[in-house]
Amino acid sequence: MKRLTTFVLFLATALAAGAQQSSIDLQKLELIRKMSPEERARLKSKLEEIKKLPPSERERLKENLKKIKTMPAEEVKKAADRAAKLSPEEQKEVTELAAGFFKWSRRMGYHEGFPRGQFFQWLKREKPGKIEEIRNMDPGAGSPRVDEFIRLYHEFRGVMLGRTEEHARRHKCIPVADVQALGELAPRDFWVRWQELTRSCNARKAIPGPVAPRPLDPPKK
pTM of model > 0.75: no
| pLDDT exceeds cutoff 80 at 133 | yes
Q: How far apart (Å, rounded) are the C-alpha atoms in residues 116 and 119?
A: 5
Q: How far apart (Å, rounded) are the C-alpha atoms in residues 142 and 70?
A: 48
| Nearest Cα residue to 20 out of 75, 56, 71, 58 | 58
Report the mean per-residue pLDDT for the chain: 76
- Residue spans of the domains in the chain: they are 7-84, 88-206
The alpha carbon of residue 9 and the mean position of all alpha carbons in its chain are separated, in whole angstroms, by 14
Q: How far apart (Å, rounded) are the C-alpha atoms in residues 188 and 197?
A: 16
Q: Write the CB contacts of 221 (distance below 8 Å, at least 6 apart in sequence).
A: none
| Nearest Cα residue to 150 out of 122, 186, 110 | 110
Average pLDDT over residues 91-111: 90
Higher pLDDT, 109 or 215: 109
Q: How far apart (Å, rounded) are the C-alpha atoms in residues 29 and 206?
A: 39
CA distances in angstroms from 202 to 75, 110, 114, 146, 206, listed in the order given: 19, 24, 18, 33, 6
CB 102 within 8 A of CB 145: no
Higher pLDDT, 65 or 197: 197
The alpha carbon of residue 96 and the mean position of all alpha carbons in its chain are separated, in whole angstroms, by 22
Amino acid symbol at 122: W
Amino acid symbol at 123: L
For 139-182, the pLDDT digits (tens) are 877 889 999 999 999 999 999 999 999 999 998 999 999 999 99
| Nearest Cα residue to 108 out of 43, 32, 218, 189 | 189
